[in-house]
A = this chain, B = another copy of it.
Amino acid sequence: MSTPETTLPSERIAQAFSPTNLRALGHRLIDLLSSHLAEIEASGTRVLNWNEPAENIARASQILAAAPQDPPSPEALVERFEKLAGEMLARGHNLHDPRYIGHQVPAPVPLAGLFDALGAITNQVMAIYEMGPWATSVERAMIARLGARLGWAEGAFAGLVTHGGSLGNLTALLTARNVSLGDAWERGLSGRTPPPVILVQQDSHYCVARAAGVLGIGTEQVVRVGLDERRRMDPQRLDEAITDLRARGVPIVAVSAAACATPIGAFDPLDQIAEVCQKHDVWLHVDAAHGGAVLLSRQHRHRLRGIDQVDSLVWDAHKMLFVPALCAFVFYRDAEHRQATFRQEAGYLFDPSVPELADFDSGTATVECTKRAATYGLWGTWSLFGEQLFEDMVDVTFDMTWRLYERLQSESDFEPLHEPQCNILAFRYVPPALRRAPEEEVGRFLLALRRELIRSGEFYIVQAKIADRQALRLTIINPLTQAAHLEGLVSAIRRTGETLL
């Protein structure tokens, strides 16, 4: 056995970079993952492996501290790797369990993760075309393909991929700010009066109002547009709000609509909203992070009627296109706008001798400089299975949500709070004993019930407040979830509720 003093740096490095070790550990990983997935998909274990933060963090730190001083032998390395990977799986979240029906984060197509891994292990990145020629091209091909589904003509529009819907919304709203306010990029927002505002769907994801804070607009300059009875932005109220702002000379950065909004998955009437925005010449942005995927479903694409009329939108592939996080698309109807977000050069990056390549440098249009090959998973899955798989996954998960809705309607102790507009459902469970209890007590009960449910590992669902009432909320975002699992959920909620009372 060698000691730290006798092992040369080059030996340690050779071990870490060894193709032979990659082969040995890689095969072990694939076996572990495949067995794990089989167990998880069969719903044979806990959905969420709950441990308190202090316990988990102490364990993660302990493992770091126990790292060897010197490289282990090849056999010991495999053994050590297997232990690490096993512990990572044992303490993780099992999104592929059909009883995982929680946040808007899918049980992804596992094979998509293989394409992603190819990019990670070889570290394919972008910023300028020459650093990631194939990564850039795969991204461009996906942008063209999805853009066509938006109803836009090739060459007229532009797109980019970024690390998440929040960053995507920030990017698009930054572009809107720069275009709407003219010189905001160079001069900033200082000195402007009255302060510019942004109009948002009342139920918008928190990142939209947050973008106003980030961009120097200020969260107090966020105007929330009222909803109709299905929690969709009311075009009439939007028209009135814009008319009023214009009359007072208040600059408008953008209108941010939702397709769909997070709480109950409501799709704004984009065609009518676009008409209002066009009438007033206001930038229309749509957060379609979750709902963009309905464009691939013949049954559900009508929900996005009018999407071809918006100025910008966000569409997350890591939601309803079922690829691992993160892969968010930003689209601009007018291709020119992709260059309005930032207005800069970096001499060491962008080569002035090849201006014809500049259009393919991703870094000019994204917050990221170095960017992962984030579309490898989507492009690979699409290339393996074709578009039909994506339509199937949308249709199957939406359909299952309607079935659950109808099921809950038939039970007196369950109250669905809305007819589904996609695969999100908010509902209440109020057992007979609490039927006359004050709202606050019911709210506490529902929060406690959910926490008990997820800590037990039996199901994973989330919570939400809908119109000031506490609700349970779920997203059927695992295409493996069947009616029998949902039947199990009804029982589990009742059983857990009883224990609590």
Contacts and interface: CB of A to CB of B under 8 A. Distances in A.
Interface string A190-213: 111111100000000111011011
Interface stretch (A113-121, A233-241, A330-338, A404-412): A113-121
A158 to B, nearest CB: 14
A55 B429 CA distance: 57
Interface in A332-356: 342-349, 351-354
B33 A118 contact: yes
B67 A386 contact: yes
A25 B377 CA distance: 14
B122 A392 contact: no
Contacts of A383: 63-64, 66-67, 80, 84
Interface stretch (A269-277, A302-310, A459-467, A489-497): A459-467
A73 to B, nearest CB: 13
A410 to B, nearest CB: 25
Given A29-B114, A189-B189, A195-B188, A213 B342 contact: yes
A182 B90 CA distance: 44
A137 B22 contact: no
A418 to B, nearest CB: 14
A219 interface: yes
A96 B124 CA distance: 11
A473 interface: yes
A347 B263 CA distance: 9
A474 to B, nearest CB: 11
B187 A190 contact: no
B122 A96 contact: yes
Contacts of A36: 122
Contact of A396 (B10, B89, B343, B353): B10
Contacts of A480: 13, 17
Contacts of A184: 216, 218
B96 A167 contact: no
A221 B212 CA distance: 20
A190 B186 contact: no
A135 B387 CA distance: 32
B379 A123 contact: no
B41 A19 contact: yes
A438 interface: no
A220 interface: yes
A21 B489 CA distance: 29
A223 interface: no
Q: Top 8 closest A-B pairs, CB basis? A: A216-B216, A188-B218, A113-B121, A190-B195, A26-B30, A117-B117, A56-B137, A60-B141
